[in-house]
Structure 1
């Protein structure tokens, strides 16, 4: 994936996060790991690796927010 594509995807996932937070669909600590790191979509000078890591953390937060207890029980079987 090219650098500009990563930036666009990063920005899109930030919008998804914002939407989830505004509608109360996210758990309070779901995005703590993302908030701790310092790469944001507007940081054009950061490396592809940094943006990939940010994307993984955002996706992890989204998954944690939409998972339910029953989903976790099924996944553990």
Structure 2
């Protein structure tokens, strides 16, 4: 990947992190935070952004594995719920 593509991916993953935090998910991004790099640091090297992406990806994967809705048996049902919600057709079944 080119550096600009890595920065775009880094940006997307940082947005996913912010979404998790906004949702109140109890996740730790301490290893990523210790890198002191963000997608806005365009002056940093391609290798630094690549490393940050892998570290952040690992933290996101860990957060997903702790989430109750991430079980393999619930994946299809959850995707269906999200699709219905996105189209405005979600009916509360609780």
TM above 0.5, yes or no, is yes
Give the TM-score band, short-chain normalised.
0.7 to 0.9
Paired residues, what number?
Answer: 68
Q: TM-score, normalised by structure 2?
A: 0.66
Query: Can you give the 5+ residue segments of structure 2 that lack an aligned partner in the other structure?
Result: 71-94
Q: 5+ unaligned residues in a row in structure 1: which ranges?
A: 72-77
TM-score, with length taken from structure 1: 0.80
Cα RMSD of the aligned pairs, angstroms, is: 1.7
- Which residue matches 2:30? 32
Give the 4+ runs in structure 1 shifted more than 4 A: none
Higher relative contact order (CA 8 A, sep 6+): 1
Larger Rg, first or second structure (1 or 2):
2
